Amino acid sequence: MTLVDLPETAPLDAEAAATAAPNAPNPGHHPTLVLLALAMGGFAIGTTEFAAMSLVPDFAPDLGIDAPTAGHVISAYALGVVVGAPVIAVLAARIARRTLLVGLMVLFALCNGLSALAPSYHWMLGFRFLAGLPHGAYFGVAALVAASLVSRDRRTQAVSRVIAGLTVATVVGVPLANVIGQLVGWRWSFGLVALLALTTAAMVRILAPLGAPAQGASALRELGALRRGQVWLTLATGAIGFGGLFSVYTYLASTMLEVTHASPVAIPVVLALFGLGLTVGNLVCAWAADRALMPAAGATLIWSVCALALYPFAVGSLWTLGPVVFLIGCGGGLATILQTRLMDVAEDAQTLAAALNHSAFNVANALGPWLAGLALVAGLGLPSTGWVGVALALGGLVLWSISFVKRR
SS3 for 45?
Answer: helix
Asked if the model's pLDDT at residue 11 lies above 70, the reply is no
Asked if the model's pLDDT at residue 57 lies above 80, the reply is no
For 12-21, 88-97, 207-216, which range has the lowest pLDDT when averaged over its residues?
12-21
Mean pLDDT across the chain, nearest whole number? Answer: 83
Asked if the model's pLDDT at residue 66 lies above 80, the reply is no
Residue 192: alpha-carbon gap to chain centroid: 20
CB-facing half-sphere around the CA of 20: CA atoms within 13 A: 22
Q: Contact 297/345 with Cβ under 8 angstroms? A: no
Say which residue, 25 or 266, is predicted with more confidence.
266
- Please provide residue 65's backbone torsions phi and psi, each rounded to the nearest 5 degrees: -130, 165
Q: Which domains does the chain have, with CATH numbers?
A: 26-217 (1.20.1250.20), 224-408 (1.20.1250.20)
Asked if the model's pLDDT at residue 387 lies above 90, the reply is yes
Asked if the model's pLDDT at residue 94 lies above 90, the reply is no
The arithmetic mean of pLDDT across residues 372-383, rounded, is: 86
The arithmetic mean of pLDDT across residues 1-16, rounded, is: 35
pLDDT of residue 22: 41
What is the Cα–Cα distance from 55 to 181, expressed in whole angstroms? 7
pLDDT of residue 220: 61
Asked if the model's pLDDT at residue 154 lies above 80, the reply is yes
Ranges of beta strands (E only) in 36-168 are none
Q: What is the band of 2 on the pLDDT scale with cuts at 50, 70, 90? A: very low
For 330-339, 345-354, 385-394, which range has the lowest pLDDT when averaged over its residues?
345-354
The crossing angle, in degrees rounded to 10, of helices 266-289 and 318-330 is 30
Give the global pTM. 0.77
pLDDT of residue 375: 87
pLDDT of residue 221: 63
- Other beta carbons within 10 angstroms of residue 379's beta carbon come to 7
Summarised one tens digit per residue, pLDDT across range 107-132 is 999 999 999 999 999 999 999 999 99
The arithmetic mean of pLDDT across residues 77-103, rounded, is: 86
The arithmetic mean of pLDDT across residues 328-347, rounded, is: 86
pLDDT of residue 88: 86
SS3 for 96?
Answer: coil
> Who's near 351: CB < 8 A, 6+ residues apart?
89, 92, 93, 140, 141, 144, 222
pLDDT of residue 141: 87
Q: Contact 158/290 with Cβ under 8 angstroms? A: no
Q: What is the band of 19 on the pLDDT scale with cuts at 50, 70, 90? A: very low
Q: Contact 324/314 with Cβ under 8 angstroms? A: yes
Asked if the model's pLDDT at residue 378 lies above 90, the reply is no
pLDDT of residue 391: 95
Summarised one tens digit per residue, pLDDT across range 244-255 is 888 888 788 778
Q: Contact 136/364 with Cβ under 8 angstroms? A: no
